[in-house]
């Protein structure tokens, strides 16, 4: 696995632009809330650690990961510097997992291609709950933290 020897929460703050003047939108799936809340907490903590203010971090909830696309699209119509899409899809017994994962991935990719506001993909697509727990604040760190750092870096690129 890609995260086996990498902690998702590690970053060098000295290499990250100060986020105090940046405005962040975070769209969070309500499905698998134990996972998505952990991811949100990691993202929010990293943004605050890098200088963002609480009033510049706006959260919207959507029912599931598939709905992240629409939520992010609506946020792109607002005045945000970057958007983070937070979700969790855990493999089950049907092909639903494949359809949701593919749809969300392609949808978020399309938003990045078609619009100027970067949308950061923070959707865990794991085989089981333990893998998701390990990546949302567990032994592999927090993908939400990694997504927040990516958002800050993408804003820096956008503003060049």
Q: Supply φ then ψ for residue 27, to 5 degrees.
A: -105, 125
Active site residues: 96
46-71 confidence digits (pLDDT tens): 999 999 999 999 999 999 999 999 99
Q: Which residues contact 107 (CB under 8 A, 6 or more apart)?
A: 68, 69
Which domains occur in the chain, in start order? 33-158 (3.40.50.960)
113-151 confidence digits (pLDDT tens): 999 999 999 999 999 999 999 999 999 999 999 999 999
Q: Which residues contact 1 (CB under 8 A, 6 or more apart)?
A: none
Q: Rounded to an integer, what distance in angstroms lies between the CA atom of residue 65 and that of residue 15?
A: 31
Answering whether pTM is above 0.85, one says: yes
Ranking 4-18, 97-111, 138-152 by mean pLDDT, the lowest is 4-18
């Amino acid at each position: 696995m890609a995260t086996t020897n990498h902690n998702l929460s590690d970053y060098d703050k000295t290499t990250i632009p100060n986020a105090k003047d940046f405005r962040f939108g975070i769209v969070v799936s309500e499905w698998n809330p134990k996972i998505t809340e952990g991811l949100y907490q990691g993202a929010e903590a990293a943004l605050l650690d890098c200088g963002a203010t609480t009033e510049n971090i706006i959260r919207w909830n959507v029912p599931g990961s598939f709905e992240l696309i629409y939520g992010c699209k609506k946020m792109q119509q607002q005045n945000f510097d970057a958007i983070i899409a937070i979700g969790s899809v855990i493999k089950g017994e049907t092909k639903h997992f494949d359809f949701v994962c593919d749809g969300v991935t392609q949808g978020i990719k399309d938003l990045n291609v078609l619009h100027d506001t970067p949308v950061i993909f923070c959707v865990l697509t794991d085989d089981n709950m333990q893998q998701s727990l390990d990546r949302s604040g567990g032994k592999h760190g927090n993908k939400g933290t990694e997504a927040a750092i990516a958002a800050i870096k993408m804003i820096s690129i956008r503003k060049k």
